[in-house]
Amino acid sequence: MRYDEIDWNALWQEARRAKSWKKKGRTDWDQRAAGFAARNIDSPYVTQFLDKLPLERKWSVLDVGCGPGTLSLPLAHEVRQVTAIDFSAAMLAELRQRAEAMGVENLTTIQAAWEDDWEALHIAPHDVAIASRSLSVDNLEGALTKLDCWATKAVYLTDRVGAGPFDPDLFAALGRPFAPGPDYIYTVNLLYTMGIHARVDFITLAATRRYESPDEAIQSHAWMVDDLTPAETERLTDYVERRLRRHPEGGWEFRRRLAPRWALIWWRKAEER
C-alpha cells in the first residue's frame, strides 16, 4: 500500500470504535461542569499550553470545545476578543459565571457542536482557532477542516499521546482490557494528507495530583470507566485508596505510574502549505 492511499480519517474512526471508553454527550458534560471547572481552572496544563501560544493583543481567538473556560478566560486577558463555543449549556454557564466574577468583558459564548452549521450560527472567522482536548469527534477530517477554515492566521490543538488522561493501571485493576483509541499520530498524518504540514510540541503533566478528599479522588477516576458494576466500584475505590497519601500541605496526593501527555499540534496558515 502506498502512503497516499491510506485513509487516515477512516482509520481514526475504526480505532475509535475499538476504544475502551464511550464518547461523552451533552448530558454527561452538563453533569460534570461544576466539578470539571474546579479541577481544571488552575491546571499546569493551562500554563504549558499558553506558553507555547504566541499571541498579539489585537488578535481574536476562537476556542472550540471551550468547556468552563479553562483557556478562554486567561486568553481574554491577552487578546482583543475571545469567542468560546461548546455543546454543553452547563459548561458555558460556568464560563459566564467565572467571566463575570473576573470582570472579563471581551468574551462571547455560543452553544454549538462540531457538527453544527457554524455559518448559520454566525460564527465568524478569527485570527486563531484552538481546540484544547476537544477532538472527541466522529469525523476528524471535518473538524480539522473547520478549524483551518475558521482561522485566518493559525490553528492550535491538543490531542492525546497514548493513554492521555486515562490510567491504564486502573483498567487493569478492574480486570478490563484497555484500548485508548486513536491518538495524535492519526491527526498529524491526516493533516499531512490534507496538505497541512503541522508542527508538534508536547505537554507532559505531573504523575501526581492532589485532591481535597479520598472521595474526590475516587470520583475523578470513576469518570474514566463506563457502566461500572458494584464489584468494579469496590475495586476502583480500593485501587485509588491504596495509592493515596496525605500531603504535608493538606489534602491527599495520588501518584500514577504514567504521567498524562498531550501533543500540541499547530500550523500557521501562511506557512504550512
Q: How do the pLDDT tens digits run along the chain, 273 residues long?
A: 787 889 999 999 999 988 876 655 556 655 554 555 455 566 789 999 999 999 999 999 999 999 999 999 999 999 999 999 999 999 999 999 999 999 999 999 999 999 999 999 999 999 999 999 999 898 999 999 999 999 999 999 999 999 999 999 999 999 999 998 899 999 999 999 999 999 999 999 999 999 999 999 999 899 888 889 999 999 999 999 999 999 999 999 999 999 999 999 999 987 655
pLDDT at 33: 46
Residues 182 and 241 in one domain: no
Q: Please answer whether residues 62 and 114 qualify as being in contact, where contact means their C-beta atoms are separated by less than 8 angstroms.
A: no
Residues 114 and 52 in one domain: yes
Is 78 part of any domain? yes
pLDDT at 22: 64
Q: How many domains does the chain have?
A: 2
pLDDT at 40: 56
Residues 119 and 213 in one domain: no
Phi/psi at 167 (5° precision): -110, 105
In the structure grid, which three cell numbers stand for residue 154, read together? 493559525
Is 105 part of any domain? yes
In the structure grid, which three cell numbers stand for residue 163, read together? 493513554
Q: How far apart are CA 231 and CA 234, in angstroms?
A: 5
Residues 24 and 102 in one domain: yes
Residues 230 and 250 in one domain: yes
Is 171 part of any domain? no
Q: How far apart are CA 107 and CA 35, in angstroms?
A: 22
Q: Which domain holds residue 149?
A: 3-166+177-207+260-268
In the structure grid, which three cell numbers stand for residue 131, read together? 481546540
Strand 252-255 to strand 244-246: parallel, antiparallel, or no bridges (unpaired)?
antiparallel
Is 273 part of any domain? no
Is pTM, for the whole model, over 0.85?
yes
Is 19 part of any domain? yes
Q: Please answer whether residues 87 and 111 qualify as being in contact, where contact means their C-beta atoms are separated by less than 8 angstroms.
A: yes
CA-wise closest residue to 162 among 261, 272, 67: 261
pLDDT at 70: 93
Residues 107 and 19 in one domain: yes
Residues 106 and 181 in one domain: yes
Residues 50 and 93 in one domain: yes
Degrees to nearest 5, angle at CA 101 with 96 and 103: 90
pLDDT at 240: 97
Residues 118 and 230 in one domain: no
pLDDT at 24: 58
Residues 22 and 148 in one domain: yes
Is 243 part of any domain? yes
The number of beta carbons lying within 10 Å of the beta carbon of residue 245 is 10
Residues 132 and 231 in one domain: no
Is 134 part of any domain? yes
Residues 195 and 213 in one domain: no
Is 155 part of any domain? yes
> Using only C-alpha atoms, what is the Rg of the chain?
19
Give me the CATH number covering residue 45: 3.40.50.150
